Amino acid sequence: MYPIKRNRRLRTNEAIRSLVRETIISPNDFLVPLFVVEGKGIKEEIASMPNYYRYSLDLLQAEVKELWKLGLKSVLLFVKVPDILKDNKGTEAVNPNGLMQRAIKTVKNACPQMLVMTDVALDPYSIYGHDGIIEDGKVINDESVDVLTEMSVSHIEAGADFVAPSDMMDGRILSIREAFEDEGYADAGIMSYSAKYASAFYGPFRDALDSAPVDAQDIPKDKKSYQMDYANRFEAIRETEMDIDEGADIVMVKPGLCYLDIVREIKNEVDVPVAVYQVSGEYAMLKAAAEKGWLDHDAVMMEQITAIKRAGADIIASYFAKDVVKILND
């Protein structure tokens, strides 16, 4: 008797397909990155990220209210820092009245229940566009960790729920965790960018914040001395396990699509939530192909997001969050 098994029975129509579907996307899966700028009445489109914007604080309020209405309950804040406030040491990063600190308060005022996570790294504040302090042509680790720790405390003081260190310095999670305990912020969360690769997919993000490494003598031209080599797999596990030991509540793999093998491996290995960042270059690629009429934007977007979750993502940071949720709500 042939065939005894007909797998197509479970694919006959949408009703049976939805009954046996293994991966379901919901608004609860998303963390929404938001770009903030100084000024008033500003909502400017990022050239390499069509339909994605930088907001001044006044318009940020309306945006987070809209996100909340759509069922999106977590945001990840990034700030574009004016050039005059940049230096080598991230002085502005710890200003209690800096743009990030005000952005945190703005979001919490507009939408008190919104979960606020903040980017912790020096690049938007650095005249050199690096995530740490430069000395003798190198990004120095321990002094950078000190500033990143101070910066983290300042974000929590301003009202953030979680910090998200994206800098890849060694030992920063432990340092931040200890500072939170010492300063009486035992409830403050840490989502660590644990396995963050030195990727060419971050280009549009660096346009958005004007934060690319500068091309100057004695300044490293890339971030390969701290972000991971994309050829490596075991190193991702090592980094992630260390961050958990040091006190991370959530770990992250970044970028997304090219790294789903790493996501699955980490998901199988650890018992904390795993976040995946579908980064700016991934967003830009689909936008560009869709603009040309070469790909069906919404179909490819849903396929990619589902693939990220299927690979093991408990949380997805994505510039598509709003678009996806609008489709889910339809």
Interface residues with ligand PBG (CB under 6 A)?
Answer: 119, 121, 123, 131, 166-167, 202, 205-206, 223, 279-280
The active-site residue, picked from 254, 267, 309, 322, is: 254
Nearer to ligand PBG, 210 or 269 (CB): 210
Residue 252 beta carbon to ligand PBG: minimum distance, rounded to whole angstroms:
10
> Strand pairing of 43-46 and 49-56?
antiparallel
Residue found under tokens 């998200």: 164
- Please state, in angstroms and rounded to a whole number, the distance separating the CA atoms of residues 166 and 35: 15
Told to judge if 223 belongs to the known catalytic residues of this protein, a careful annotator would answer no
Residue 79 beta carbon to ligand PBG: minimum distance, rounded to whole angstroms:
11
Nearer to ligand PBG, 131 or 239 (CB): 131
Residue 142 beta carbon to ligand PBG: minimum distance, rounded to whole angstroms:
18
Residue 284 beta carbon to ligand PBG: minimum distance, rounded to whole angstroms:
9
The active-site residue, picked from 86, 89, 196, 267, is: 196
Nearer to ligand PBG, 110 or 212 (CB): 212
Contacts of 56 by beta carbon, 8 Å cutoff, 6+ apart:
36, 37, 38, 39, 40, 41, 42, 43
**In terms of C-beta density within 10 A (0-12 exposed, 13-18 middle, 19 or more buried), how is residue 96 classed?**
exposed
Residue 102 beta carbon to ligand PBG: minimum distance, rounded to whole angstroms:
20
- Please state, in angstroms and rounded to a whole number, the distance separating the CA atoms of residues 193 and 183: 23
- Please state, in angstroms and rounded to a whole number, the distance separating the CA atoms of residues 228 and 239: 9
Closest CA to 190 of 206, 205, 175: 175
Structure tokens of 10? 């479970």
Nearer to ligand PBG, 22 or 229 (CB): 229
CB atoms within 10 A of CB 11: 11
- Per-residue DSSP letter, 248: -
Closest CA to 305 of 287, 321, 291, 293: 321
Contacts of 21 by beta carbon, 8 Å cutoff, 6+ apart:
none
- Please state, in angstroms and rounded to a whole number, the distance separating the CA atoms of residues 221 and 214: 7
How far from chain centre, in Å, is Cα 250? 12
Nearer to ligand PBG, 206 or 233 (CB): 206
Nearer to ligand PBG, 185 or 205 (CB): 205
Largest Cα–Cα distance in the chain? Answer: 78
Nearer to ligand PBG, 205 or 320 (CB): 205
Residue 117 beta carbon to ligand PBG: minimum distance, rounded to whole angstroms:
12
Find out whether 44 and 107 touch, Cβ atoms under 8 Å: no
Told to judge if 254 belongs to the known catalytic residues of this protein, a careful annotator would answer yes
**In terms of C-beta density within 10 A (0-12 exposed, 13-18 middle, 19 or more buried), how is residue 307 classed?**
middle
Residue 223 beta carbon to ligand PBG: minimum distance, rounded to whole angstroms:
6
**Active-site residue list:** 196, 254
